[in-house]
Structure 1
Amino acid sequence: MREALGENRKLEAVAEKRRRALSLVVLFLFASCALLMFVVGKRAAAVTNLRNANNIKPETQPVSSESTPSTPAQDYSKFSHFTPGEHAALASRYSCNSCHKRGDNSAEPKLPGHRECINCHQTQFNTPGTPFCLICHTQEGLSQQNPAVKAFPKTLAGFDAEYDHAQHMAGSPEAKPQTGCVACHAPARRGVARTFPNGLAAHQTCYTCHTPGRQAGGRDISSCGVCHAPGGRAVNVTTATRSYGIGFSHATHGPRQNLSCENCHTVGRRGLPEGKQVSATFPAQHFPNTRAQTCASCHNGQRTFGETNFNDCKRCHTGPTFRL
């Protein structure tokens, strides 16, 4: 009796496990069907929306003004060498003659002519009332048949002024001035000082050799880019040096004393900054604390007068406050 009862309980437990397994299978199938129907419905809705969007005509599609940024209009009332990019490309080192033509040796440059402007600005040139013409002409002059042209700017904004002494003095023989240093450095202040080419006056000095169309080394050396490079600032050189304040004069250190510029100045290698291209004698006579060449290098009592004779002191000390 007990064995039969135990057998029935085992059969009931097995049946219960089967019912639970069947319930889980049914639940899984139901969930899978629901998920499949959800995915199919989403895809069908997306396809429908895409078809509807493709059926809209281009002219009826709304366009947001924020999605198409507008390009700022070019200001043709001002000129710049560096904007837009087309101007910047022409302002490179050796492209200046694309716009600036030298017809003579005039020290003052001239603004480009109509032909140079029309090459790129045909539309602006033919547009009535455009401020484009006011870059080179005045408003009053535009009413005339041959409007006057504005003067060339006195300052060269955005460009430096370069000069390489080594290239002219120790480089190519054809680059060396026939008269040497005095070709550029003329006497000043009654021969005491030597001038430096500055500003537009430098053109008058340089154009003695750099004539229009002059070629050297296979390139044009008459163009602006020979001396002026974009991205710098031209600085005038002064003649107020320390040597002139202690009685030195170039007039008493020249050919009559069998001296030349090379006796006191040495030209360095090419590519040095302007302030370091040429060495200068250190203006010191008494107890010079330097290895550089000084006044005492020559004024040593042997080559010329020095400190051995006190009667020679006033040959250098000429100021009214000097007392011996």
Structure 2
Amino acid sequence: MRTSSERQGNLASRSRPILTCAVLFMFCVVIVLSYVIESTSASANASGESAQDFSKFRHDTQQHTRMPCLVCHVRSSNSPAPKLPGHIPCASCHSAEFAKGNSSPICAICHTATDVKRFPPLRSFNAVFDHSRHARQTNCATCHKPTNRGVGLSIPSRAAGHTTCFQCHQPQTIVGDKNIGSCSTCHKPGTVSRTSESSVAFKRNFSHAEHSRKGLSCSDCHTIRPGARRGSQVTAPQPAMHLAPSGIKSCAACHNDRRAFGDDNFANCRRCHEGNRFKF
């Protein structure tokens, strides 16, 4: 009759081959999985590289979005016209494409067959602006200039926007710990939109220049609304007189027969009403 120790020894001896096989099997599984994962990853990377279109530049790629604007857009002067970044910023990441020489499609981003392209217009970025922050530092006339013989006022945009903003936002202007001369100060990814310079009041014989000559300032008629979206940050009086609603700032606030000719003064209607669209 076998003792307990003999039975345990026999059981252990029978278990060793099974354990060895299990370990070898797991090792083989790990090797195969590692090979499959590596092959899949390499295939995906190769597919991604081959699918990438190097002939077009996009700001919204994963690699480009995490880079500061100043890596590529260095303002060496206060010129309102932005310049293309040159080879160094691009070649730092795309060395494989630059190694191909003129045959690489990446050259077509900035170059034609014989020349360098002009800086492209704003397409994938919008412009942000906060009147409430600027009103503490400057006045309206710094940015808004008379247009249409003084009837309206300009809203800086395109190259004129840079010319206006660069009066204060110079290349190395630091406020706090932020460089306010960088692209990201004003431009954020999004759809380009521009605020209209027209107004209903301009069609009713209103003139900023005429009111300015009477001693009125912007704040007499307009109020800044902090935090409002662009296009709604500055209020404007309702261009109405005779039936102007109460509680709303309108022309009637000043044209009350005390400060200026008012609602009951019909001596010369054409002071406000003129043109083919005016009807009695």
Tell me the residue number matched to 1:68: 40
Q: Does structure 1 residue 149 correspond to structure 2 residue 123?
A: no
- Is residue 126–residue 187 contact of structure 2 (8 Å, CA) maintained in 1? yes
Task: Give yes or no for the alignment of 1:79 onto 2:53.
Answer: no
Q: Does residue 1:134 correspond to 2:134, yes or no?
A: no
User: Per-residue CA shift, 1:96-122, capped at 9, x if unaligned?
Assistant: 111101122222211111222233233
Residues of 1 paired with 2:230 and 2:59: CA distance?
A: 25
Instruction: Encode CA deviations 1:2-54: one digit per residue, 9 max, x unaligned.
Output: xxxxxxxxxxxxxxxxxxxxxxxxxxxxxxxxxxxxxxx9x978966976997
Query: Residue 167 of structure 1 aligns to a residue in which SS?
Result: helix
For the residue of structure 2 that corresponds to 1:309, the secondary structure is coil
Q: CA deviation at 1:156?
A: 2.5
Q: Cα distance 1:282–1:321, how it changes in 2: closer, same or farther (>3 A)?
A: closer
Q: Which amino acid counterpart does residue 81 of structure 1 have in structure 2?
A: H
Q: CA deviation at 1:290?
A: 4.2
State the secondary structure of the residue aligned to 1:203: helix
Mapped to 2, the partners of 1:105 and 1:226 lie a distance apart of 15
Shift of 1:64: 6.9
CA contact (8 A) 1:265 1:279 kept: yes
Q: Which amino acid aligns with 2:269?
A: C
Which among 218, 221, 225 is matched to residue 180 of structure 2?
221
Match of 2:127 among 161, 169, 193: 161
195 and 47 in structure 1: CA distance in 2 versus 1, 3 angstrom threshold: same
Rounded Cα–Cα distance in structure 2 between residues aligned with 1:261 and 1:285: 20
Q: Which has the larger radius of gyration?
A: 1
CA distance, structure 1, for counterparts of residue 95 and residue 173 of structure 2: 31
1:89 maps to which of 66, 77, 98: 66
8 Å CA contact 1:101–1:112 kept in 2: the answer is yes
Question: 1:161 touches 1:233 (CA, 8 Å); kept in 2?
Answer: no
Summarize the alignment of residues 91-240 of structure 1 with structure 2, pairs less than 5 Å apart: 95-128=68-101, 129-138=103-112, 140-141=113-114, 148-157=115-124, 159-170=125-136, 175-176=137-138, 180-230=139-189, 232-240=190-198
Does the C-alpha gap of structure 1 residues 52 and 248 become closer, same or farther in structure 2, counting only changes over 3 Å? closer
CA–CA distance in 1 between the matches of 2:25 and 2:150?
93
The answer as to whether partners of 1:267 and 1:277 remain within 8 angstroms in 2 is yes
**Which ranges of 4 or more aligned residues in structure 1 deviate by more than 3 Å?**
43-55, 63-67, 320-324
Q: CA deviation at 1:193?
A: 0.9
In 1, the alpha carbon distance for the partners of 2:229 and 2:277 equals 38
Task: Structure 2: state its 5+ residue gaps.
Answer: 1-13
Judge conservation of contact 1:211–1:222 (CA < 8 Å) in 2: yes
Q: Residue 219 of structure 2 aligns to which amino acid in structure 1?
A: E
Shift of 1:301: 0.2
Amino acid paired to 1:215: I
The 1:261/1:47 distance shift into structure 2, 3 A limit, reads same
Report how many residues are paired: 261
- Aligned: 1:310 with 2:266: yes
Amino acid at match of 2:117: K
CA separation in 2, counterparts of 1:323 and 1:185?
A: 33
Work out whether 1:262 is the aligned partner of 2:180. Answer: no
Would the alpha carbon gap of residues 53 and 137 (structure 1) be closer, same or farther in structure 2, given more than 3 Å must change?
same
Question: Deviations for 1:275-303, whole angstroms, at most 9, x for unmatched residues?
Answer: 22111111110121241211000000001
TM-aligned CA distance change 1:257 to 1:133, over 3 Å: same
Q: Which residue of 1 is the match for residue 238 of structure 2?
A: 282
CA 285–219 in structure 1, closer or farther in 2 if over 3 Å, else same = same
Cα-Cα RMSD: 3.2
Give the alignment of 1:31-70 within 5 angstroms: 68=40, 70=43
1:295 aligns with 2:272: no
Which amino acid is the alignment partner of residue 122 of structure 1?
S
Identity of aligned residues (%): 40
Summarize deviations over 1:112-136 as a string: whole Å, max 9, x none.
1122223323333223332222221
On the 8 A contact 1:305/1:312 being kept in 2, the answer is no
TM-score by length of 2: 0.80
Amino acid at match of 1:68: T
In the alignment, the residues of structure 1 paired with residue 225 and residue 60 of structure 2 have an alpha-carbon distance, to the nearest angstrom, of 33
